[in-house]
Amino acid sequence: MSNMRADEALRQVKTDAKGGTCSMVIFGGSGDLTRRKILPALFNSAKEGILPEHFTVIGCGKPLMSVEEYRKIVSEALLNFAKAEKADQNVLRHFIENVFYVGGGFEEDALYTQLDELIQSNCKARTCSDNRIYYLSTPPSVFPIITHQLAQHGMSRVEGTNYWRRIIIEKPFGRDLQSARELNAEIAKAFEEWQVYRIDHYLGKETVQNVMAFRFANGIFEPLWNRNYIDHIQITAAESLGVEDRGGYYEEAGALRDMIQNHVLQVMTLVAMEPPSTFDANAVRDERVKVMRAIRPIKEDEADKYFVRGQYAAGVVHNEMVSGYRQEAKVNPESATETFVAAKLFVDNWRWAGVPFYLRTGKRMPRRDSEIAIFFKRTPHMMFTHAATDEVAPNVLVLQIQPDESITMSFEAKVPGPDMNLKSVNMHFAYQEAFNAEIAEAYQRLILDCMRGDATLFMRKDMVEVAWWLVMPILQRWYKNKPKNFPNYPAGTWGPLESELLLTNDGRKWRT
């Protein structure tokens, strides 16, 4: 389908705020992600009355179980992760009544035959449209199997515009550039690109979305959003937790693959992108991918100059002693996997030439803290005799992504008294205080967007491949040169010394 036809389809479905009747098939329907995130997200939408009429959930998986057994699993998940006991019980009962299950191996033809028959039967009984979302909440290794089977059974593409098929794919989208290209090629055999929604839950967070609103709906900041006024930008995604029960997965991934290649780079593109001509999925994603293509490539032999890796040792977090990464379950006692990454990147275009973007992410940091910090240039001359220019703090705009969604602007003000003494003060905006409303969880927002056919906050295949292309030299360098000093930072600290030097060598420091 051409971009023009895809855009026309998007505009058509956006006319219905609820996105139209549809069935969501969750492959991996009894898995951890489904129970913790997907089902609670759907139920919260049901509580708010924004799910489409006759919305149906169909779990799919290898365990063979009855519909009643699956509904019990769903009920327990909603009680544990969506506070369903506090909800209107009629809403809960109606939601559960619209849950079904089909069991079997993902490679088995019978699974798809039974699934298709169930969906069509439900549609006839309710006289509703046969719109479908397939959610792949499974290990990436079975993505090609599922998409191939959906295509073989005529369940992926449709002729005409009376109903639609969409597919949501969880990360990781491959583990390197080659595997990402192969995965995209396999998906393309079954689905057209406009049908594919590669989900990155980070982009569903309110503050991340608000970057665009803040920049492009306010006339005061956008004229300053460039190399003439901004000194540098810091993006932090810190977690106080360790790898918990994900040691096996993390050994294969590491922080560079798990966070930098997707979440953090995507946030960076929203900060650095040019204003799109319209707030349309393709227009917005075009500008984001332009930023990624403008990021200065790091050569393999330069990796150590621009990237720092770390691994946490035992330490103290929130006044509790915690073990090091190598002592975690399912982790190699001599593991060389990084749990921390810091990087310095440049966007080589007219707007950002010479402005460094400092990125960092890590496990077992002092606190959970994800934010974007925009450091403006200092005033060129300080006229007040009691303060030198380099002693006055720069103006900093901080967009807090989690845990407390907020925006803070620091500026200098005079301290009351006879002398001209200056002090940094803050203007602060908090989402919850301003709107007096519970902020929707990221998965809820993104799933609703998929129902509406709005792909603005989802990854396009070219974005995935460019992101992998950017980090491949770093991955290759680290693969060939194992770290000799791991672990190199205690749990409960902000990472290894080399991370601090990345900024202090430039005359800057991390915001703490």
DSSP class per residue in 347-406: B-STTTTT-EEEEEEESS-SS-EEEEEEEEPPPS----TT--GGGSPPPEEEEEEESS-E
φ, ψ at 168 (rounded to 5°): -105, 130
Cα–Cα dist 296/469, whole Å: 11
Residues 219 and 188 in one domain: no
Q: Does 355 map to a domain?
A: yes
In a domain, 332, yes or no: yes
Q: What is the reported pLDDT for 13?
A: 38
* Residue 139 domain-assigned (yes or no): yes
pLDDT at residue 132, as a whole number: 93
How is residue 491 written in tokens?
A: 């749990």
Cα–Cα distance between 341 and 207 in angstroms, integer?
23
Question: In the prediction, which pLDDT does 349 show?
Answer: 97
Q: Give kind and range of the element (H or E) at residue 308.
A: strand 307-310
Q: What is the pLDDT of residue 388?
A: 54
Burial class, 208, CB count within 10 angstroms (exposed 0-12 / middle 13-18 / buried 19+): buried
CB 65 within 8 A of CB 103: yes
Structural domain containing residue 497: 204-381+461-504
Residue 326 domain-assigned?
yes
Overall domain count for the chain:
2
Are residue 86 and residue 179 in the same domain, yes or no? yes
- 191 & 229 share domain: no
**Global pTM value:** 0.89
Give the long-range contacts of residues 316-325, CB within 8 A, separation 24 or more. Answer: 316/490, 316/491, 316/492, 317/240, 317/364, 317/366, 317/491, 317/492, 318/240, 318/367, 322/242, 322/364, 322/491, 322/492, 323/242, 324/487, 324/491, 325/242, 325/243, 325/363, 325/364, 325/487
On whether both 173 and 320 belong to a single domain, the answer is no
In this structure, what CATH number is given to the domain that contains residue 122?
Answer: 3.40.50.720
**Shared-domain flag, residues 278 and 219:** yes
Residue 445, in any domain of the structure: no
Predicted confidence at residue 171, as pLDDT, reads 83
Q: Is residue 49 one of the residues assigned to a domain?
A: yes
Q: Which of 54, 94, 153, 263 is catalytic?
A: 263
- Tell me the CATH number at 313: 3.30.360.10
400 domain-assigned? no
148 catalytic? Reply is: no
Please state, in angstroms and rounded to a whole number, the distance separating the CA atoms of residues 155 and 112: 9
pLDDT at 161: 66
Using 50 as the pLDDT threshold, list the residues of the chain that sit under it. 1-18
The alpha carbon of residue 319 and the mean position of all alpha carbons in its chain are separated, in whole angstroms, by 29
Instruction: Give the pLDDT confidence score for residue 386 in this predicted structure.
Output: 61
Instruction: Tell me, yes or no, whether 141 and 273 share the same domain.
Output: no
